[in-house]
Structure 1
């Protein structure tokens, strides 16, 4: 069985999945007072949700932070009752992301360096665990062909824009796509 998660509701809807926060039972609104779903070994609802899951797809990973990834890993391991040393409880995880897209909100990006300090917080422990998870990736496939945009001129504009190399011609092309009167 396949489970699909994404950090935003739009991304989750695009892949017919759930948001990571809704799966975790968290609300991103009023994050200072958020209620977190409690997971413990023996939680039959959690175990039933993951019993037959063999693959997990997480889309838009650029928006998933270190703390969130570590919490998800801990919860899946709890559900699967597998050796706690095995990442994600043995579930095969497939990440999709583009580093040039949005960074996580209220969390550190996956490439963040966790510098040691004298006082280690629970959040820092989560972030270090997540970095170890990312470092264990054993297969990376780079998708290099854009499949959604057929207009070659617009595709080239998007590629330059991603790299911060926009031109005056790009600006002029974008101006032709404005709907309505521009004043």
Structure 2
């Protein structure tokens, strides 16, 4: 257990066992943003640099895109977005509807390569695949984006997307991104680069896309009844990076974070006890977290199943045998 605050530790132990009390709920409510006693502003340090932990990839992507665009505006820079290159049967997809639909898929459905990657110098990013694990460059490693190296293409000028400002510079031929990884284990700096700055090249991944999503509802139902295989294989080339202003609670597992902002309003669908326990246990003290909006006590009352209890025990055993990682300060 990474927590140093004894009262908070007891709260977490009750939570993971499905035995949270009304006192636990009231204690967490003291950390809701807007509470005048907190004297904490989301617009000021350290909270304006703290990652926002959410439960759904779609919400995470929306928050990240908006945060990058806001930072570009504050810096007086033109928004810049890398666009993934998607191939079907060895050819670049040129059907506009199909291309747009696939680009807008959440990255958890595209082997963690984003269709759109907005970038601005100084922004936090997250690696989405293992690059060099022995150097500490693995899936989930946090870094700071510095620069994009790319080729100019006529397709960049033609590309448009209503989800981004009209003056956005779209880049379809990126080569690599220069990213600073403060905790990287590389002893010597690379030629002509500052220490801890690593070039992250384009990655290739293959994933399946169900074209029923493009069909009219009655046609899609017919395809299902006839048991037709409507999935196609897509090869994507893109940078294995995503913005890290917001991350999913799943992605935060195993990390110790300096400050975090979390949302405890549960999304629709089945709820697991780990869903709430994971984000709350990323910090060492109660004072290191803010809750973005009011939530219901029921979010803390989920009873763990036998399988969940066994999984939590397994994670405990791993934590005891794994060397401690350096806390990440934002």
- TM-score, normalised relative to structure 1: 0.29
| Larger helix percent | 1
Pick 1 or 2: higher relative contact order, CA cutoff 8 A, min separation 6.
Answer: 2
Larger Rg: 2
| Larger strand percent | 2
